[in-house]
A = this chain, B = another copy of it.
Amino acid sequence: MSFETYFPIWDQLQPRQQRLLLDSLTCRTVKKGTILRGGSTDCAGLVLIRSGQLRALVYSEEGREITIYRLFDGDLCLFCAPCVIRSIQFDVTIQAEKDTEFWTIPSEIYHGLMAQSTAVSNYTNELMASRFTEVMCRMEQFMWKSMDKRVAAFLLQEASIEETLELRITHEIIANHLGSHREVITRTLRDFQAAGMVKLSRGLVTILDREKLEALLK
């Protein structure tokens, strides 16, 4: 599949704009764990994922981290190029969660298209609103939900993304997704194990009772 089929508003661009976009693209593959964007001055370009998985995270001053949203095949990473919208004044780090292949659209090209085309600027609006919605959802979970509910939700989300109940994930990584400490996650998972919901072994969390985990969320 080509860029044209992945870029959602391709058909709404003029031939001249399509050419400009195609001519400016670069395609890259990065390994799992690579930081695609960190630091506030970095603004190489917008990333459109061909295959793989990215996560957007923020750090505390003490180095704790929390995932604020995730991106999958076909998603466009607006915050990989925050400079295209002047009022984005916060730092987000983008990390590859899997080996990821993507196209990069240079920031100045995209910014130019936004100024010419209501299709591009309104698409960008929808994109930002989607991320905003995810962040609000994450924020509400963090503020109002107890840790057992948040861990249960995370395990169920992982199972759905990976399409397996055997999750290859450490307690440390779960803590980094949820803005918590490893010890807190370990304690919660041991409670889940005692209740027969999961089985724990080195680097592996196996979901034994999905319904019981889902019931926790209610």
Does B121 contact A85, Cβ atoms closer than 8 Å?
no
A115-135 contacts to B, CB under 8 A, are 115-118, 121-122, 124-133, 135
Does B114 contact A122, Cβ atoms closer than 8 Å?
yes
Given known pairs A115-B118, A115-B122, A128-B129, the reply for A136 and B87 (CB within 8 Å) is: no
**Which has the most chain B C-beta neighbours within 10 Å: A62, A66, A140?**
A140
Does A129 contact B58, Cβ atoms closer than 8 Å?
no
Inside 8 A of A115's CB, which chain B residues have their CB? 118, 122
CA separation between A124 and B132, bound complex, in Å?
Answer: 14
Partner of A85, one of B62, B117, B129: B129
Taking the closest CB of chain B, its distance from the CB of A136, in whole angstroms, is 4
Each complex incorporates copies of this chain amounting to: 2
**Which has the most chain B C-beta neighbours within 10 Å: A124, A126, A132, A179?**
A132
Does A133 contact B89, Cβ atoms closer than 8 Å?
yes
Task: Determine if A143 is an interface residue (Cβ-Cβ < 8 Å).
Answer: yes
8 contacting pairs across A/B (C-beta < 8 A): A85-B129, A88-B132, A89-B129, A114-B122, A114-B125, A118-B121, A124-B125, A135-B136
| 16 other A-B residue contacts (CB within 8 Å) besides A87-B127, A132-B135 | A58-B136, A60-B143, A60-B144, A66-B143, A85-B126, A86-B129, A87-B130, A90-B132, A116-B118, A117-B118, A118-B118, A121-B125, A124-B125, A128-B129, A139-B139, A142-B142
